[in-house]
Chains A and B, each alone.
Chain A
Amino acid sequence: MNTQSQSTDDLRDLYRELILDHARSPRHFGKLESTSHQAEGINPLCGDKLRLYLKIDADQTISAVNFEGSGCAISVASASLLTETINGLSTERALDYYANVVYLLTGVDAANPEIRLDLGKLKALEGVREFPSRVKCATLAWHALHSAINNTNDTVSTE
């Protein structure tokens, strides 16, 4: 029974209220008209597909960020939280968040970021770590961010 209640706790930890709220009502959702950078992220395994739009000013400030697409609760919530987090930040700081989130989700030492940030709301994503098959859903938008800022214009795929 311990295993059973542990597993139920894991599930509640994954689908926290904050995650469900962002999945139901994603922030900054929809196409951004005047965009300077964008990237697409796809997760072929489950069909998640999103496009991230950024407006990066001359001083490297992200002055607008939106996303559109469809996906599971985890990928949509993660993308929504991303837009709330990086809006108004420098691209450098946004990439610091990218590194911190990837480390939070994967715990891989190689991803250990040089600068540790207080992740605030983004900590709601940490429950995903207990669900290896869902980590890619949560990292999808962040990899798209990395691609968009680096202007590679590539489609990011989890596979």
Chain B
Amino acid sequence: MTGRSAKKPTADASDWRGSFPALHQEINGHPLVYLDSAASSQQPAAVIAAVQTYQECSHANVHRGVHTLSHRATEAYESARDRIADFINASNRTEIVFTSGTTDSINLVAQSFCRPTLKPGDRIVISHLEHHSNIVPWQMLCEQTGAELVVASIDESGQVDVSEITDLLDERVKLFALAHVSNALGTVLPVKEIIGIAKTRGIPVLLDGAQAVPHLPVDVQDLDCDFYTFSGHKMFGPTGTGVLFGRESLLEAMPPYQGGGDMILEVSFEGTTYNDLPYKFEAGTPNIAGFVGLGAAVKYLQCIGMQRICQHEKELLEYMTMQLSEIQDIRLIGTAANKASVQSFMLADIHPHDVGTILDHQGVAIRTGHHCAMPVMEYFGIPGTARASLALYNTRDDVDALVAALHAAHKIFS
């Protein structure tokens, strides 16, 4: 642990900001203003230190050796699982499967939960808001099985229509896969209400929580979802880490996703006995250092408290939305009543890519383009947007720098 990481963040965002080394640098002669956390968040010193300490002192393979380092590595890896189970309030640590990311988690459910029983005439329902990672695995599944992919529409504000979804969820639907928070627009979907409707009809629900977990308190028992997926690198942890929460009874019944080491109890050429949960779904040597880092990231979030983070970001998003809306010729994309962390926009007729370049030259990092949600862009009739996304370490100063940089962009193109 470094001195910086040992400091428990207690005050406000400017203190939290101090925990993130990457934020303290200049880009093109300006202090970095990082507003691209929805693509990937920066890591606090505690995460960087945890990974380094693990690599220096504890690395070996997990679940294999009798020697000390293997024991340490296993303990570090498994304690991350305990922490994550606690963080999202899973009823059992066996319900936490480690994957390489949200994409991997969703593909696992598509191939292992759905594919064995899906047949022509069955339906998978998603929404128009989804990230490509919650579209393409289902398209592939439907091609493989002859099932049909049905898409619930959105309105001009970027919100789904619960009554339309209610109508869609009939006996043909075998899974409803939905974003908890839209990555392109920031819409918080009414997932609890929707899950309640799906439950009454016996339809399992998967939530893509990649954009929710870093910003909102998430309680999978309270949500009553069957699967919940998220990525480590959007919640201040390392890339290449992801989580699939699955209801234990469902995971138990599912066949393994991949075969290999660590997912077996006994192998012979006559047949193989698969390992227990969650190891049945974790074939091969995992990204141990990555999950040690993710465990440290969750500890960091728990120290601050998700409720405080949520409140801070809510106020900051309101401030950002207000400041942006005052800019001449700006069009805000995504204006739902309930939103988190993200504001997409178009500035006059300037292509988002040009906006991104001009902002970068003033030290302001935003995402531009389709945000891996091309159907959303198509709905709004635009090739892409500029997207500013917030995390716990952002402040009003960041928003002010964004607004000033947008004025400069406007000037260049006027």
Q: Which residues of A contact B (CB under 8 A)?
A: 1-8, 10-11, 14-15, 20, 45-49, 70-74, 131, 133-134, 137
Contacts and interface: CB of A to CB of B under 8 A. Distances in A.
A3 B350 CA distance: 26
B29 A6 contact: yes
Interface string B354-387: 1001100100000011100000010000011000
B360 to A, nearest CB: 8
Interface of B: 26, 28-30, 350-354, 357-358, 361, 368-370, 377, 383-384, 412-413
Given A11-B412, A15-B412, 4 more contacts: A3-B28, A7-B28, A45-B369, A47-B383
B29 A133 contact: no
- The DSSP consensus for interface residues of chain A is helix
A20 B413 contact: yes
Contact of A49 (B350, B358, B383, B413): B383
A3 B370 CA distance: 31
A2 B361 CA distance: 13
Contacts of A49: 383
A3 B26 contact: yes
Given A4-B28, A72-B351, A137-B353, A11 B369 contact: no
Contacts, number: 62
A10 B368 contact: no
A46 B29 contact: no
20 contacts: A1-B29, A7-B28, A7-B29, A11-B358, A11-B412, A15-B412, A46-B368, A47-B370, A47-B383, A48-B353, A49-B383, A70-B383, A71-B351, A71-B353, A72-B351, A73-B351, A74-B354, A134-B353, A134-B357, A137-B353
A70 to B, nearest CB: 5
B351 A7 contact: no
Contacts of A5: 29
Contact of B361 (A11, A45, A72): A11
Contacts of B377: 47
A131 B28 contact: no
Contacts of B361: 7-8, 10-11
Ordered nearest first, which 10 A-B pairs have the shortest CB separation? A4-B29, A3-B29, A72-B351, A47-B383, A72-B353, A7-B28, A46-B353, A47-B384, A73-B354, A11-B361
A48 B368 CA distance: 12
A7 B29 CA distance: 8
B269 to A, nearest CB: 43
Contacts of A3: 26, 28-29
B242 to A, nearest CB: 23
Contacts of B384: 46-47
Contacts of A70: 351, 383
Nearest to B412: A15
A48 B352 CA distance: 11
